[in-house]
């Protein structure tokens, strides 16, 4: 069980698409759930991407600021979740892959400044009390500013990068800043460019934890709601996402054990993420 934050950098590395691939492929034991929370202060993408606007703006992060002022944040959180369990084509899929949609307008982020810390506590509670996993999509800027507390409270922070010169150059400053904020980070590499994992690690000075293939046709199913190809769940992207989910959980568990050897996290206590 883990709380894992995914962050990006300039150059559209594909944080949300990667997060959705992980959500739909995450290896779940019976009774376990995965919650993906779109916490990008620049706005969410799933409601009008994968879901093509079919649900309007009735659900999402923006509704939690009102609930927090009314003292109803905990219950309201669960009411805002959308079930994506059937997005892989299984009509009888259990309700175990859940999405908290992001903001529909970046201007709404200001109203959430008092909420981010409380939301981090909810994520920790989902993990500690229910044994579920949480993925946090922080987008390109969400690991900093007011909602950066979500990165600080996560078991692991992964930066999504493409192995192109342009993206690696853009990622250097972001990775350094995150190292200062949370102590250590890992990488999820999208294999668009020519640089192998060893070279990416050498340039950015942090480990590659997982890799996903660069497959634009499959990615558009998740990013834009494009027609799902036959056998989409067995595509290279989704197969790699399933493997990556296992690797991310292992990475988070090792980091939690190192930072919290006494297991206080499981008792509801926070872990100091700083070096």
- What would the pLDDT profile of 216-251 be if each residue is shown by its tens digit? 999 999 999 999 988 899 999 999 999 999 999 999
Q: Report the alpha-carbon distance of residue 143 to residue 150 in Å, rounded.
A: 7
Cβ pair 139, 17 in contact under 8 A:
no
CATH number at residue 110: 3.40.50.300
The answer as to whether 206 is a domain residue is yes
Q: Domain of 73? A: 3-265
The answer as to whether 273 is a domain residue is no
Query: How many distinct structural domains can be found in the chain?
Result: 1
The answer as to whether 104 is a domain residue is yes
Cβ pair 157, 178 in contact under 8 A:
yes
The answer as to whether 270 is a domain residue is no
**Which pLDDT does position 89 carry in this prediction?**
44
**Which pLDDT does position 264 carry in this prediction?**
55
At a CB cut-off of 8 Å and minimum separation 6, what does 260 contact?
271
In order along its 275 residues, the chain shows pLDDT tens digits of: 799 999 998 877 799 999 999 999 999 988 889 999 999 999 899 999 999 988 878 899 989 988 988 888 989 999 999 999 875 445 455 689 999 999 988 898 888 988 999 999 999 999 788 889 999 999 988 899 899 999 999 999 999 999 999 999 999 999 999 999 999 999 999 999 999 999 999 999 999 999 999 999 999 999 999 999 888 999 999 999 999 999 999 999 998 888 777 665 544 433 334 33
**Which pLDDT does position 258 carry in this prediction?**
85
Buried b (16+ CB within 10 A) or exposed e, 178-198: bbebbeebbbbbbbbbebebe
For residue range 30-62, list pLDDT tens digits in order: 888 999 999 999 989 999 999 998 887 889 998
**Which pLDDT does position 256 carry in this prediction?**
86
The answer as to whether 28 is a domain residue is yes
Q: Report the alpha-carbon distance of residue 161 to residue 206 in Å, rounded.
A: 12
**Which pLDDT does position 260 carry in this prediction?**
75
The answer as to whether 261 is a domain residue is yes
**Which pLDDT does position 88 carry in this prediction?**
46
The answer as to whether 156 is a domain residue is yes
Which element (helix H / strand E) includes 171? Answer: helix 165-182
At a CB cut-off of 8 Å and minimum separation 6, what does 79 contact?
none
The answer as to whether 163 is a domain residue is yes
């Amino acid at each position: 069980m883990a709380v894992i934050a995914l962050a990006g950098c300039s150059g559209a590395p594909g944080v949300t698409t990667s997060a959705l691939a992980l959500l739909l492929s995450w290896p779940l034991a019976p009774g376990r759930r995965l919650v993906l929370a779109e916490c990008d202060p620049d706005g969410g993408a799933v409601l009008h991407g994968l879901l093509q606007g079919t649900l309007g703006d009735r659900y999402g992060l923006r509704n939690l600021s009102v609930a927090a002022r009314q003292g109803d944040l905990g219950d309201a959180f669960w009411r805002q979740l959308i079930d994506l369990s059937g997005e892989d084509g299984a009509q009888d899929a259990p309700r175990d892959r859940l999405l908290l949609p992001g903001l529909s307008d970046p201007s709404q982020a200001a109203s959430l400044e008092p909420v981010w810390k409380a939301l981090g506590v909810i994520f920790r509670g989902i993990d500690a009390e229910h044994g579920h996993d949480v993925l946090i999509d922080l987008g390109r800027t969400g690991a900093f500013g007011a909602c950066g507390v979500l990165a600080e409270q996560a078991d692991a922070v992964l930066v999504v990068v493409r192995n192109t010169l342009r993206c690696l150059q853009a990622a250097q400053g972001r990775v350094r800043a995150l190292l200062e904020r949370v102590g250590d980070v890992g990488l999820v590499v999208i294999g668009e460019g020519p640089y192998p994992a060893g070279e990416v690690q050498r340039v950015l000075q942090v480990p590659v934890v997982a890799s996903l293939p660069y497959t634009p046709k499959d990615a558009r199913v998740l990013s834009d709601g494009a027609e799902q190809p036959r056998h989409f769940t067995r595509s290279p992207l989704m197969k790699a996402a399933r493997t990556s989910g296992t690797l991310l959980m292992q990475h988070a568990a090792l980091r939690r054990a190192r930072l919290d050897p006494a297991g206080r996290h499981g008792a509801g206590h926070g872990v100091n993420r700083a070096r």
